[in-house]
Chains A and B, each alone.
Chain A
Amino acid sequence: MQAFFIRHPKVWRAFDILLPFLATLAALGVGAVMLMAFDANPVVAYGALLEGAFGSTNAIADTLVKATPLLLVALGICIAFRGGVINIGGEGQLVLGALASTLVGLTFPDMPGYLIIPLALFVGFLAGGFWGAIPGFLKAYFNVNEILSTIMMNAIAVQGMNYLLKEPMIDPVQLEAASRIPQTARLSAAFDLPRLVPTRLHLGTALAIIAAILVFIFLWRTVVGYRIRAVGMNASASRYAGINVPRNIVLALALSGAFCGLAGAIQVFGLHHRMFTDGSATGFTGSAGFNGIVVALFGQLHPLGAIPASFLFGALIVGANKLQRVMQVPASFIIALNGLVVVFVVSADYWRRRMARRREAEVVSEELISSEAEVPT
């Protein structure tokens, strides 16, 4: 069997690509057993999931809307991973980007949209970048592990958000109400990101795809991107080659955070048109800061791979919510299923790598060296 794959490179490439799908199917299989355990018909259930994700124009639009922040976060994660750092702070960076961009929108309510939207998105990008740069700085110059610091930064961002939305940034209308719902005023309708078709689908999706292409170009076609990857591949060799390692670590985490911040800004301007809190980050982010990491891996840590991966993951989340509505299965089942998919996909990567090693061992040929190992000259 393996020998067959090795002799037919096209087949095993397809196999590589299919692997995450097979893993997802396997996870859904386990989910089916769980569904049967509480008397739900898995066929009907997964039918509902598919219909919820792809069954109508609106469903597909919802899937794309859901995929948008996932893709942007995944781009950030790609940069971080390529730079040899892990960014678990996506949640906090999303929140920061959203808050900062909302502030721009609230400050200039009468300016035209074509000025404010780009400005706000850029400010969101910067704010996320700032929030990412802090752990980067701490890692580069104080050897503070970024996993620890990004987790802490998430908690700080959430409490900061709660404070800002309850006091300085609160909707003046809420300030007068007894219950004081912690949200800002709605941003001027002039700042709504254009809808692409008459659904919830907005321009942000297209921006995210463009961003993916730009990140690809950045990482593989520019010197700065090359340096980040070099540090990620081998920090000491890079240092030896004269690359400023600490600076590139800061840069990698800052850029990573910036894309998360952009995701937050796009969620505000494309979807919610205001900022709000339910006390946690999740209410706003939908855990995109975490799910984006999975998406990045699903896309094999490649910016372009993240595009279909985010779509698939968006579909899974949107479809799963539909599944809850149709079958009235508990929401917790969907969270558990999400976890299973992640575990299965990340584990299945094992077979891809094993196959790759066997290939390299047995067939040493130019065409088998993947393009990502090449370094631009």
Chain B
Amino acid sequence: MNKNIIWLSLVMLIVLLISACGGATPTEAPAEEVVETEAPAEPDEPPPAAEGPFRVAVVMPSPINDLAFSQSIYDALAAIESEMGADNFEFDFSEGMFVVDDAAAALRDYASEGYNLVIAHGSQYGGSLQEIAPDFPETSFAWGTTVDTFTEQGINNVYAYEARSEQGGYVNGVIAASLSESGVLGVVGPIETGDAKLYVDGFVAGAQATKSDVDVNVNYIGSFSDVALASAAAETHVQAGADQLTGTAQMVVGAIGVAEESGVGWFGTQANQSSLAPDVVVANQVYDWTVVLDEIISNVKAGTMGGEAFELTFANGGLLMEYNPDFDLPADVKALADETVAGFVDGSIMVGDAPPPPPAEEAEPVTFGMILVGPKNDRGWSQAHNEGGVFVEEHLDGARMIVFESLNPGDKPEATLEGVVDDMVAEGATLIFTTSDEFEEDTLGAAEKYPDVTFINISGDDAWEEGEDFKAPSNLGNIMGKMEDMKAIAGCAAALQTETGKLGYVGPLINHETKRLAASAYLGARYCYDEFRGLNPDDLEFTVTWIGFWFNIPGVTLDPTEVTNNFLDSGADVILSGIDTTEGIDVTGQRAAQGAAVWSVPYDFEGACDNAPDICLGVPYFNWGPAYLETVTSVGNGTWAQSWDWNPPYWPDLTDNTQTAVGWINGPGMPAESQASLDEYIASLASEDVKVWTGPIFLQDGSEYVADGSVATDQQIWYLEQLLQGMIGPSE
């Protein structure tokens, strides 16, 4: 027997190998790439192309011909296809996916194949979708039937849709109660949940509103498929005296037969069931999902990926009452029904305990503090934070920002972080951003002092569990943008443009952050000097001068104007800035105006090129808005949890300030051919073909830091101790 097992395993292995080779796409993802990313590895396919047909995939629990739930969405998609034409719209489906983990696999598969919109048509798929959607930010999802779009969980690419089936249920109930002579109505339902529950609740409400003494007997048979039991349930209703019946879900076809045999009225929902029993079907509530789908599709086309809940109502035409032409409905009852529908349309009738779908952002009004190290209009670091706060105020109703600027010993020697925090808390702030590395220690103290207030220290690492300095209380988090890639682009731009081979880097003070950013610029410069210009990167002279603080404090720091002048005088022709303010580009611009062939790459603020556009090679900048909005939203609805976020750029569009945490804006001073090379470099970073921190990398003291062929870890990058070999300038 044991030997058999070995044989069996061997055969399995062979089958596996053969099929792996035979499988269409050879996997391009080598092992190290898989290790690097945290997200599930589905990198095979490119994101959806802008041109070509709009592609939709739908996963549904029952077959497409169930004359109920699944058929309703299938018919809607087919209608949209015939309306838009096969050239502009195509859809694929997986039916009969009642096994939820199979459905999840299908959703994941569709998403990875680049469909524009993937629909999970079943309330039981929600849990799976919640796990899948964040892995495919490029794909839009829709989930029905529900009102939950997961925005509270920070997911922004899911739409929700629901039929307000209680409305049609109510109308059916009104008609049924009017027609009933026995005063007894019967309802056959599957299990008491979702769409079925809404419909049944509406039916009961409508019937009782019409005749207060009407008896509505409700029977949930515990199954979506047991036709025989549905039939027996209908029989029971008839025996109990019911003379009007209704029911929902696909197994009710059994009940319709009983209605016909017993000659009692039948009310349908989800689809028009008149053909099944032409003598007794009175009216049907019919779903037209095209109303919702059209809206979702046009939203996705316009670039909004999700976050909104849609519903079918009588008012928007998504719900329709279809009457059986063969059934002679008395004119006064028909008039009453029409009146009821009109009541729903104009809002005079409301039904049930169904609340309206919550607005996309359900946050409580949040007051948040923003403590800046420099002035809020410094056209650099502090201004970027201030604009992030303004972004939050614009996008979140009720959000209010309190700003305190220039908290530094030079400008306001008497002010302390603790004092500022005291004031802000007194003013009602429940969340405070301390936007400098300088504030790291004091923020820790403030967080301990105010455990009910959430603190976010920018650029710190106290809340990094895997970091070297994890000690933050649970109400303190860190946010930082992954500026390193942008700095590498800056370095690349400089290397592409330099004629003297000498680059000057105006650095602020010396810490881990500033060292790794300068080093990133150097690595980008080396790569491009070699790759695009074919020159020896070792010849590149990259000098860093630290001024001693984030910006010029006369008498305390070196003067960045002077530093820049010195660089230019000593032959450097591209000045990179690493400080919060714009002296680098200002001075370089003046020199260029005097006829010198010099260029500059400013830093921090996206508008910085405006100071001297002709010599600006581009600008790397922070964009705090999206991260701040997420933080304020989650604090508002109570879902914030401590984290250390090192947010990556949004590679498809580095200037999309609704998405990206760090950005790069091309400079007007960059010649076209150099720009082409720079674009190529950016694309290779985006595709991860090139990684900035790829070995071999040596430190200034000559020791190997990253081995040849491997990539530095987050910790190695974050905690860089020295500048790199080849860079000129102090590390301490």
Quick check: do A and B touch in the complex, using CB within 8 A?
A: yes
Interface residues on B, range: 35 or more
**Residue numbers in B under 8 Å from A273 (CB-CB):** 127, 131
Tell me the minimal C-beta distance from B17 to chain A in angstroms: 9
Say yes or no: is B254 at the interface (Cβ < 8 Å to chain A). Answer: no
Say yes or no: is B355 at the interface (Cβ < 8 Å to chain A). Answer: yes
**Residue numbers in B under 8 Å from A304 (CB-CB):** 2, 5
Q: Are B94 and A178 in contact (CB under 8 A)?
A: no
Q: Are B5 and A302 in contact (CB under 8 A)?
A: yes
**Residue numbers in B under 8 Å from A280 (CB-CB):** 98, 223-225
Say yes or no: is A214 at the interface (Cβ < 8 Å to chain B). Answer: no
Q: Are B105 and A55 in contact (CB under 8 A)?
A: no
C-alpha gap A312/B100 in the complex (Å): 20
Q: Are A284 and B94 in contact (CB under 8 A)?
A: no
**Residue numbers in B under 8 Å from A55 (CB-CB):** 19-20, 23-25
Q: A178, A285, A321: which contacts B355 (Cβ < 8 A)?
A: A178
Say yes or no: is A272 at the interface (Cβ < 8 Å to chain B). Answer: yes
Known: A58-B42, A282-B98, A321-B105. A181 touches B24 (CB 8 A): no
Q: Are B11 and A180 in contact (CB under 8 A)?
A: no
Q: Are B1 and A278 in contact (CB under 8 A)?
A: no
Known: A55-B20, A183-B124, A280-B225. A166 touches B192 (CB 8 A): yes
Say yes or no: is A65 at the interface (Cβ < 8 Å to chain B). Answer: yes
Q: Are A179 and B123 in contact (CB under 8 A)?
A: yes
**Residue numbers in A under 8 Å from B7 (CB-CB):** 13-14, 17
Q: Are A324 and B94 in contact (CB under 8 A)?
A: yes
C-alpha gap A283/B194 in the complex (Å): 16
Interface-located stretch among A31-39, A81-89, A127-135, A196-204: A196-204
**Residue numbers in A under 8 Å from B126 (CB-CB):** 181, 183
Q: Are B101 and A325 in contact (CB under 8 A)?
A: no
C-alpha gap A14/B19 in the complex (Å): 21
**Residue numbers in B under 8 Å from A16 (CB-CB):** 4
C-alpha gap A285/B27 in the complex (Å): 31
Chain B minimum-CB-distance residue to A333? B96
Say yes or no: is A172 at the interface (Cβ < 8 Å to chain B). Answer: no
Known: A13-B3, A166-B192, A280-B223. A330 touches B19 (CB 8 A): no
A-B pair count, CB < 8 Å, reads 214
Interface-located stretch among B32-40, B209-217, B674-682: B32-40
Q: Are B98 and A311 in contact (CB under 8 A)?
A: no
Q: Are A372 and B34 in contact (CB under 8 A)?
A: no
C-alpha gap A18/B109 in the complex (Å): 32
C-alpha gap A166/B105 in the complex (Å): 26
Say yes or no: is A51 at the interface (Cβ < 8 Å to chain B). Answer: yes
Chain A minimum-CB-distance residue to B12? A308
**Residue numbers in A under 8 Å from B286 (CB-CB):** none
Q: B39, B105, B147, B355: which contacts A318 (Cβ < 8 A)?
A: B105
Say yes or no: is B593 at the interface (Cβ < 8 Å to chain A). Answer: no
Chain B positions 79-108 with a Cβ under 8 Å from a chain A Cβ: 92-102, 104-106, 108
Say yes or no: is A227 at the interface (Cβ < 8 Å to chain B). Answer: no
**Residue numbers in B under 8 Å from A107 (CB-CB):** none
C-alpha gap A180/B353 in the complex (Å): 12
Q: Are B194 and A56 in contact (CB under 8 A)?
A: no
C-alpha gap A302/B225 in the complex (Å): 36
Chain A minimum-CB-distance residue to B36? A198
Say yes or no: is A238 at the interface (Cβ < 8 Å to chain B). Answer: no
C-alpha gap A332/B41 in the complex (Å): 30
Tell me the minimal C-beta distance from B303 to chain A in angstroms: 27
Say yes or no: is B130 at the interface (Cβ < 8 Å to chain A). Answer: yes
Say yes or no: is A122 at the interface (Cβ < 8 Å to chain B). Answer: no
Tell me the minimal C-beta distance from B37 to chain A in angstroms: 6
C-alpha gap A348/B11 in the complex (Å): 18
**Residue numbers in A under 8 Å from B352 (CB-CB):** 178
**Residue numbers in A under 8 Å from B93 (CB-CB):** 328
Say yes or no: is A267 at the interface (Cβ < 8 Å to chain B). Answer: yes
Say yes or no: is A226 at the interface (Cβ < 8 Å to chain B). Answer: no
Mask for A42-71, Cβ within 8 A of B = 1, else 0? 000001001101111111101001100000
Say yes or no: is A359 at the interface (Cβ < 8 Å to chain B). Answer: no
**Residue numbers in A under 8 Å from B35 (CB-CB):** 198
**Residue numbers in B under 8 Å from A279 (CB-CB):** 190-191, 193, 222-224
**Residue numbers in B under 8 Å from A322 (CB-CB):** 109
Q: Are A274 and B127 in contact (CB under 8 A)?
A: yes
C-alpha gap A198/B197 in the complex (Å): 39
Q: Are A325 and B110 in contact (CB under 8 A)?
A: yes
Say yes or no: is A138 at the interface (Cβ < 8 Å to chain B). Answer: no
C-alpha gap A58/B23 in the complex (Å): 13
Q: A166, A267, A325: which contacts B109 (Cβ < 8 A)?
A: A325
**Residue numbers in B under 8 Å from A276 (CB-CB):** 100, 124, 127
C-alpha gap A186/B148 in the complex (Å): 14
Q: Are A198 and B40 in contact (CB under 8 A)?
A: yes
Q: Are B27 and A65 in contact (CB under 8 A)?
A: no
C-alpha gap A162/B191 in the complex (Å): 8
**Residue numbers in B under 8 Å from A335 (CB-CB):** 96
Chain A minimum-CB-distance residue to B153? A186
Say yes or no: is A149 at the interface (Cβ < 8 Å to chain B). Answer: no
Say yes or no: is B606 at the interface (Cβ < 8 Å to chain A). Answer: no
Tell me the minimal C-beta distance from B192 to chain A in angstroms: 6
Say yes or no: is B595 at the interface (Cβ < 8 Å to chain A). Answer: no
Say yes or no: is A21 at the interface (Cβ < 8 Å to chain B). Answer: yes
**Residue numbers in B under 8 Å from A198 (CB-CB):** 34-35, 37-41
Chain A positions 335-374 with a Cβ under 8 Å from a chain B Cβ: 335, 370-372
Q: B24, B34, B122: which contacts A51 (Cβ < 8 A)?
A: B24
Q: Are A21 and B25 in contact (CB under 8 A)?
A: no
Chain A minimum-CB-distance residue to B57? A325
Tell me the minimal C-beta distance from B8 to chain A in angstroms: 5
Say yes or no: is A182 at the interface (Cβ < 8 Å to chain B). Answer: yes
**Residue numbers in A under 8 Å from B16 (CB-CB):** 54, 60
Chain A positions 282-323 with a Cβ under 8 Å from a chain B Cβ: 282-287, 299-300, 302, 304-305, 307-309, 311-312, 317-318, 321-322
Q: Are B3 and A200 in contact (CB under 8 A)?
A: no
Q: Are A278 and B100 in contact (CB under 8 A)?
A: yes
Say yes or no: is B9 at the interface (Cβ < 8 Å to chain A). Answer: yes
Say yes or no: is A159 at the interface (Cβ < 8 Å to chain B). Answer: yes
C-alpha gap A198/B39 in the complex (Å): 6
Q: Are B162 and A21 in contact (CB under 8 A)?
A: no
**Residue numbers in A under 8 Å from B146 (CB-CB):** 177, 179, 181
**Residue numbers in A under 8 Å from B180 (CB-CB):** none
Interface centre among B40, B123, B193 (most CB of A within 10 A): B193
Q: B19, B98, B190, B223: which contacts A283 (Cβ < 8 A)?
A: B98
Q: Are B110 and A47 in contact (CB under 8 A)?
A: no
Chain A minimum-CB-distance residue to B9? A308
Q: Are B197 and A178 in contact (CB under 8 A)?
A: yes
Say yes or no: is B195 at the interface (Cβ < 8 Å to chain A). Answer: yes
Q: A47, A65, A158, A180: which contacts B194 (Cβ < 8 A)?
A: A180
Chain B positions 320-349 with a Cβ under 8 Å from a chain A Cβ: none
**Residue numbers in B under 8 Å from A318 (CB-CB):** 105
**Residue numbers in B under 8 Å from A56 (CB-CB):** 23, 25, 27, 44
What are 25 inter-chain pairs, A to B, with CB distance below 8 A?
A: A13-B4, A14-B7, A17-B11, A55-B24, A56-B44, A58-B41, A58-B112, A162-B191, A180-B192, A200-B105, A267-B101, A272-B100, A273-B127, A276-B124, A276-B127, A278-B224, A279-B224, A304-B5, A308-B5, A318-B105, A324-B95, A325-B92, A325-B94, A331-B95, A332-B96
- Interface residues of chain B, those whose CB is within 8 Å of chain A, are 1-5, 7-9, 11-12, 15-16, 19-20, 22-25, 27, 29, 34-35, 37-42, 44, 61, 63, 92-102, 104-106, 108-110, 112, 122-124, 126-128, 130-131, 145-148, 162, 166, 190-195, 197-198, 201, 222-225, 352-355
Q: Which 9 A-B pairs have the closest CB atoms?
A: A331-B96, A55-B23, A178-B354, A286-B99, A54-B19, A51-B23, A50-B19, A308-B12, A278-B124
- Interface residues of chain A, those whose CB is within 8 Å of chain B, are 13-14, 16-18, 21, 47, 50-51, 53-60, 62, 65-66, 158-159, 162, 166, 173, 176-183, 186, 197-200, 267, 271-274, 276-280, 282-287, 299-300, 302, 304-305, 307-309, 311-312, 317-318, 321-322, 324-325, 328, 330-332, 335, 370-372
Beyond the given A273-B131, A307-B9, could you list 6 further A-B residue pairs with CB under 8 A, ordered by the A residue number? Answer: A55-B25, A65-B101, A159-B222, A179-B197, A278-B124, A282-B98
